[in-house]
Amino acid sequence: MQDLEQRFTRLVERVLEEGVVPFLGASFSYGAWFPNGEQSQHDRMSMQLNAYLSTALKGCRAAPSPDAGSEQWPPECAAHCSPESRSFCTIRRSNPKSLALLAELVGLAHGTRTVCDVLKIADYAELRPQDSHRYLAYLAYLAREGLIREVITTNYDCCIEWAFDESRRPASAMPMGSPGDDNSVKAQRSALGRDLEAF
């Protein structure tokens, strides 16, 4: 427990020193909601791609050994793979739960547009931010874009952007004293520490 507290304290100190660049992956938006009330689910996306891949390339996973004659291979495999590349066939060994691999396989076989269509990627622009996204925006807003100056993400949703847009509110909403008042800075840091603990 003490080790966790030390890590947390160090993180808070680094944030207050403007020394943190968040690097966010897919799990940061896991469980976010679409405007229609549907929840974003990584598992659902994997199932959609796996179903598409199974239909589009049915038989590939059950293909014979790589050294079998071409006539024994399913037409889908014969169309997409040369005899030399069959021993490296990733479709036969693919994990149906690996979203990244499934997206790559569908993209290679049918193009990136198909991946985007099957997963309805365009809809993710409307995915609503969660508290985690809003809290990140809050950190940036606290010091007028000071505490967090940069965010790196691999996500294709717009949750971070939505949260930053929502955080644009009048400066009077921020707990501040008079400019240059050292006590107001201390109060902000104290409030930030309490907020981080609650988070």
Per-residue pLDDT tens for 57-109? 555 555 555 555 555 555 656 666 666 665 656 555 555 567 777 788 778 77
Is 138 found in the same domain as 83?
no
- Select from 99, 124, 149 the last residue of a domain: 124
Rounded distance, CA 7 to CA 58, Å?
49
Looking at mean pLDDT, say which of 40-44, 64-68, 97-101, 120-124 comes out highest: 120-124
What's the whole-model pTM score? 0.55
Domain count, the chain: 2
Token pair in block for residue 178 = 């008079």
- Select from 70, 92, 124 the last residue of a domain: 124
Is 169 found in the same domain as 137?
yes
Contact assessment for residue 1 and residue 9, using Cβ atoms and an 8 Å cutoff:
no
* Higher per-residue pLDDT: 37 or 47: 37
Residue 92: φ, ψ to 5°: -65, -30
Give residue 10's pLDDT band: very low, low, confident or very high (50, 70, 90): very high
Is 168 found in the same domain as 133?
yes
Which residues have a Cβ under 8 Å from the Cβ of 195 and sit 6 or more positions away? 135, 138
Give the E-state strand segments of 71-166 in sequence order: 152-153
**Domain around 18:** 2-33+129-198
**Amino acid letter, 26:** A
| Average pLDDT, rounded, for the chain | 71
What does the pLDDT look like over 130-140, one tens digit per residue? 998 988 888 77
Q: What pLDDT is recorded for position 166? A: 84
Percent above pLDDT 70 for the chain: 58
Strand partners, 154: none
Is 149 found in the same domain as 98?
no
Is 137 found in the same domain as 175?
yes
- Select from 124, 146, 165 the last residue of a domain: 124
Is 46 found in the same domain as 117?
yes
H-helix or E-strand spanning residue 152: strand 152-153
* Higher per-residue pLDDT: 141 or 183: 141
Q: What share of the chain is helix, strand, coil (3-state, %, to 5)?
A: 60, 5, 35
H-helix or E-strand spanning residue 132: helix 131-142
